[in-house]
């Protein structure tokens, strides 16, 4: 049951992230989030404070749900799991804050990257779209699939060999 609560929390966090991003980060906390939408040469942004918020929230769930272990512990685990996914996908893969990933031919990751780039096409508080992290609108999948197929046509040696 605990693993189920953790996974349900992980999935629910995508909705929480979307609402927070659209209405809070692009709303009354824009003064913090703005640092993420502007170019800069330093490693950290004011926007990184949101990691501390979610980390503190997860920690409180762990603390108050640990003796004995109850549903709150697993909610904290789900928030933490989402935070790890967020870091790896958003900060490492999309924004390349740590350079470990090269270009991808994975349609989902390409669509995710495209949707996020569209979100960042403006440095203003208003005018953005695509506020989630893991959910990608179908139109980005169509374009990503087209691009991946075109790349494989131009560079056939990079595609997966067929079994004959």
pTM for the model = 0.79
Q: Using CA atoms, how far apart are residues 73 and 71, in angstroms rounded to an integer?
A: 5
pLDDT at 89: 84
- pLDDT band for position 164 (50/70/90)? very low
pLDDT tens-digit profile of 85-142? 988 887 787 767 666 666 777 788 888 888 878 777 776 677 667 777 888 888 888 8
| Residue 158 pLDDT exceeds 70 | no
Domain count, the chain: 1
DSSP 65: T
Output 109-115 pairs: Cβ under 8 A, ≥24 positions apart: 110/144, 110/147, 110/148, 111/136, 111/140, 111/141, 111/143, 111/144, 111/145, 112/136, 112/140, 114/140, 114/143, 114/144, 115/140
Q: Residue 147 in contact with residue 126, Cβ under 8 Å?
A: no
Residues with Cβ within 8 Å of 55's Cβ and at least 6 positions away in sequence, in order, are 83
Residue 69 φ then ψ, to 5°? -65, 125
Tokens linked to 145: 């699939």
Does residue 163 form part of some domain?
no
Does residue 164 form part of some domain?
no
- Structural domain including 87 reads 2-158
pLDDT at 155: 66
- pLDDT band for position 78 (50/70/90)? very high
Instruction: Give the closest residue to 49 by CA, choosing from 64, 65, 37, 35.
Output: 35
Which has more confidence, 111 or 7? 7
Q: Using CA atoms, how far apart are residues 54 and 83, in angstroms rounded to an integer?
A: 8
pLDDT tens-digit profile of 8-59? 999 999 999 999 988 998 899 988 888 877 777 777 788 788 889 999 999 9
């Amino acid at each position: 049951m605990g693993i189920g609560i953790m996974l349900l929390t992980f999935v629910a966090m995508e909705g929480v992230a979307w609402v927070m991003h659209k209405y809070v980060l692009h709303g009354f906390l824009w003064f913090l989030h703005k640092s993420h939408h502007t170019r800069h040469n330093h490693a950290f942004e004011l926007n990184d404070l949101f990691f501390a918020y979610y980390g503190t929230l997860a920690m409180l769930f762990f603390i108050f749900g640990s003796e004995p272990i109850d549903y709150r512990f697993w909610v904290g685990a789900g928030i933490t799991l989402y935070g790890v996914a967020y870091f790896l996908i958003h900060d490492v893969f999309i924004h390349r804050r740590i350079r470990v990933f090269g270009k991808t031919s994975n349609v989902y990751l390409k669509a995710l990257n495209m949707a996020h780039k569209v979100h960042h096409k403006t440095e203003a508080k208003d005018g953005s779209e695509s506020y989630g992290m893991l959910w990608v609108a179908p139109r980005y999948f169509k374009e990503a699939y087209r691009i991946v197929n075109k790349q494989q046509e131009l560079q056939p040696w990079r595609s997966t060999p067929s079994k004959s």
